[in-house]
Amino acid sequence: MRQHILPALKLTAVCIVFFCGVYTLLIWVIAQAAPAHGLGETVSVNGKVVGYALEGQSFTQDKYFWGRPSAAGYNAAGSAGSNKGPSNPDYLKDVQSRIDSFLVHNPGVKKEEIPSELVTYSGSGLDPDLSPAGARVQVRRIAAVRGLKEEKINDLVDRLTEGPLVGLFGPSKVNVEKLNIALDNLH
């Protein structure tokens, strides 16, 4: 073992310099050429930063599209899921009460129209997206609160819906923050 200690120590030191140092710096330098210079892309309205492009934020007011329930309270410095098991009775009660409260806020919507992502916690607590159905089911409420025509908002949802990757892979989605910024611009 003794003959291996010195090489082990030295090799570890070289690895520290190379992987923590050289590799990290290389990626950092490359990141400077990326769109947001590796800082995370922000979204601004009238020159003021109102969010990060990748991360969802809390929307609770009736005039906005709501995003997914968040176990982290949309804390972008503490991502987390609920970790509730599928058979947990307390959890199922919570889901039921979210369904009930959704129906109260969205008169005219039938229960079978509510997609599950609107009443279940996301994995990160920062999910920025909804399925197109998850946005459309809220259109009636928003149209009523804002005094807009439903078609106009439906068009907006269609316009901002992003299809699968190269048209083939994965689900369609729509970004809630982009939707809400566009909503505010409709007036």
Partner 1 sequence: MSTEIIGVIAMYLITVLLAIPLGRYIGKTYMGEPTWADRIFNPIDKLFYRLSGIRPEREMNWKQHLVALLTINLVWFLFSMLVLMNMSWLPLNPDGNPSMSADLAFNTTVSFVSNTNLQHYSGESGVSYLGQLVLMLFQFISAGAGMAACAVVFNAMRERTTEKLGNFYNYFVRSCTRVLLPLSIIVAVILVFNGTPMTFKGKDQFISMQGDTVHVSRGPAAAMVAIKQLGTNGGGFFGANSAQPMENPNYLTNMVEDISIVIIPMAMVFSLGYILKRKKLAWVVFGVMTVGFLLFVIPSIYYEMKGNPAIRGMGIAQHMGNMEGKEVRFGSAASAYWAVTTTVTSNGSVNAMHDSLTPLTGMFTMMGMMINSFYGGVGVGFLNFYIFIIIAVFISGLMVGRTPELLGKKIEAKEMKIATIIALLHSFLILSGTALASYLFAHDPKGYAAWLGNPGYHGFSEMLYEYSSASANNGSEFSGLSANTPFWNITDGLVMLLSRFLPIVGPLAIAGILAKKKYIPESAGTLKTDTSTFGIMTFAVIIIVAALSFFPSLALGPIAEFFSMPRP
- Residues 147-166, interacting with partner 1 (CB under 8 A): 164-165
Asked if residue 186 binds partner 1 (CB under 8 A), the reply is: no
Q: If binding means CB under 8 A, how many residues of this protein chain bind partner 1? A: 106
Rounded to a whole number of angstroms, the distance between the first and last alpha carbons of the chain is 75
Q: Sort 186 into a burial class: Cβ within 10 Å, 0-12 / 13-18 / 19+.
A: exposed
Which CB, 141 or 177, lies closer to partner 1?
A: 177
Cα–Cα distance, 52 to 3 (Å, whole number): 53
Cα–Cα distance, 127 to 56 (Å, whole number): 5
- Residues 85-144, interacting with partner 1 (CB under 8 A): 85-89, 91-92, 95-96, 99, 111-117, 119-131, 133-134
DSSP state of 165: B
CB of 147 to partner 1, least distance (A): 20
Cα–Cα distance, 178 to 126 (Å, whole number): 15
Amino acid at 62: D
CB of 155 to partner 1, least distance (A): 21
Which CB, 45 or 186, lies closer to partner 1?
A: 45
**Contact in structure between 181 and 43 (CB atoms under 8 Å):** yes
Asked if residue 12 binds partner 1 (CB under 8 A), the reply is: yes
CB of 151 to partner 1, least distance (A): 22
Asked if residue 173 binds partner 1 (CB under 8 A), the reply is: yes
Give the residue among 88, 81, 83 at the shortest CA–CA distance from 122: 81
- Residues 28-67, interacting with partner 1 (CB under 8 A): 28, 30-31, 34-42, 45, 48-61, 64
Which CB, 93 or 152, lies closer to partner 1?
A: 93
CB of 93 to partner 1, least distance (A): 11
Neighbouring C-beta atoms of residue 152, cutoff 10 Å: 13
**Token pair recorded at residue 96:** 């039921």
CB of 149 to partner 1, least distance (A): 23
CB of 25 to partner 1, least distance (A): 9
